[in-house]
Amino acid sequence: MTHLPAMLAPSPTPVRSAALVQFALATGGFAIGTTEFAAMSLVPYFAPGLGITEPVAGHVISAYALGVVAGAPLIAVLGARLSRFALLIGLMGSFALFNGLSALAPTYGWMLVFRFLSGLPHGAYFGAASLVAASLVPPQQRTQAVGRVMLGLTVATILGVPAANALGQSVGWRWGFGVVAVLALTTVALLVALAPRDAADRSASPLAELRALRRGQVWLTLAIGAVGFGGMFCVYTYVASTLLEVTRVSPATVPVVLAVFGTGMTAGNLIVPRFADRALMPTVAVVLLWSAAMLALYSWAAQSLWTIVPSVFAIGLGGALGTVLQTRLMDVAGEAQSLAAALNHSALNLANAIGPWVGGLAIAAGWGWASTGMVGAVLALGGLPIWAVSVALDRRRAAVSRAA
């Protein structure tokens, strides 16, 4: 059995209560996933509303991602001495506030500011939520608990994003952000009603959290996500254009295929954690290999709707990598759990930057829209050497411990 820090020792929480807490935590993930992905689909609507072009409006999306990358470690360190209950309430409350202000943004400049601020709680929330969920179940069920929290994010790609987009089209783009503020406030109410009231850790400190950065295994785990997860984003970013230009489907079909992708991610977060709780690092390798194979097949499958639909679903299954790596960080971060857990989402957002950038280079070079599949496969395989180094270090440490 994996040795856990005291802060992660499972509490005697009844199964029903643990499930309700996970539901409350997942609701926050649903709100975050809705705004993260729906904002991209609302660009054609808020761009003219703010008097800017669509390419310039893309900076609004980048501002949110920058907020995620900056906010995850910053909040985790500064909030080290807060109880997780207080931290979750504060994060989701501020998320509601800044999304509400995004809906009211009078100018492009203010929109950039509010989207950056909206991104700040993202990574820290998922980090704290994952730790709370894991603390409520036995150690051998941690990854499954984290996966249930992440279901909020994946279900948002199926239900929340289309709903926010439809609302934005029918009654105005500002409502697409406003509904997220409502979802966040709903999460606050659920957390107040259901989440456990833990005591603040007075022994914790920002310096103690920063010690996680001295652990090589933390950096290796983050690197696996930043590189290996980039393949999925390489394809997802350009899947709509691929459907229109290569598969030649009608625009109305695109949201359906995107929902299939979200369904794959949801299924992955239900299935893969069960294997990870039995053999975590072997599961990481299998997911990377699976992703590489499915991404490579995507380049061929893009020619027909009948083949691209199952291909997109299969690629979505690999999205469970982020959940598995979240548990790995719990194992290697020692007592600096909050920072390591939050940094996972900084790494995944870095993957969200690397994948589209490399895929865009391939498209600009004339390789075609479907080439993103092969490029993504290379990124997924790129995570394997990093994984191998991490496993080798684990084995060396185990050998030294046995010899001692």
- 205 pLDDT tier (thresholds 50, 70, 90): low
- Is there a single domain that holds both residue 379 and residue 277? yes
Question: CB atoms < 10 A from the CB of 140, how many?
Answer: 12
Report the distance separating Cα 354 and Cα 360, nearest Å. 10
- Is there a single domain that holds both residue 286 and residue 304? yes
- Is there a single domain that holds both residue 391 and residue 310? yes
Please measure the distance between the N-terminal and C-terminal CA atoms of the chain and give it in whole angstroms: 20
- Is there a single domain that holds both residue 154 and residue 104? yes
Q: Whole domain around residue 257: which residue ranges?
A: 208-404
Report the distance separating Cα 199 and Cα 253, nearest Å. 50
Per-residue pLDDT at 102: 95
Report the distance separating Cα 32 and Cα 48, nearest Å. 25
The CATH number that applies at residue 3 is: 1.20.1250.20
- Is there a single domain that holds both residue 119 and residue 25? yes
Per-residue pLDDT at 55: 65
Amino acid at 48: P
Per-residue pLDDT at 66: 83
Q: Please state the separation of Cα 300 from the chain's center in Å.
A: 27
What is the tens place of the pLDDT at every residue in 345-360? 888 888 877 888 888 8
Distances (CA, A) of 352 to 119, 329, 382: 14, 19, 15
Per-residue pLDDT at 203: 65
- Is there a single domain that holds both residue 259 and residue 181? no
In 172-302, the DSSP E strands lie at none
Q: Over 80: is that where the pLDDT of 335 sits?
A: no
- 61 pLDDT tier (thresholds 50, 70, 90): confident
- 5 pLDDT tier (thresholds 50, 70, 90): low
Of the listed ranges 6-10, 172-176, 277-281, 386-390, the one predicted with least confidence: 6-10
Number of domains observed in the structure of the chain: 2
Mean pLDDT of 159-175: 82
- Is there a single domain that holds both residue 241 and residue 141? no
Question: Which residue is it, tokens 């100018």?
Answer: 107
Question: CB atoms < 10 A from the CB of 251, how many?
Answer: 9
What is the tens place of the pLDDT at every residue in 82-131? 888 999 999 999 999 999 999 999 999 999 999 999 999 998 899 889 88
- Is there a single domain that holds both residue 194 and residue 223? no
Q: Would you call 79 helix, strand, or coil by DSSP?
A: coil
Question: CB atoms < 10 A from the CB of 105, how many?
Answer: 20
- Is there a single domain that holds both residue 167 and residue 265? no
- Is there a single domain that holds both residue 113 and residue 151? yes
User: What are the residues whose beta carbons fall under 8 Å from the beta carbon of 401, sequence distance 6 or more?
Assistant: none
- Is there a single domain that holds both residue 124 and residue 238? no
Per-residue pLDDT at 65: 81
Per-residue pLDDT at 110: 96
- Is there a single domain that holds both residue 156 and residue 279? no
Report the distance separating Cα 60 and Cα 116, nearest Å. 8
Given 204, 227, 260, the domain boundary residue is 204
Given 156, 189, 204, the domain boundary residue is 204
User: What are the residues whose beta carbons fall under 8 Å from the beta carbon of 295, sequence distance 6 or more?
Assistant: 231, 232, 234, 235, 315, 373, 374, 376, 377, 380
Given 204, 223, 251, the domain boundary residue is 204
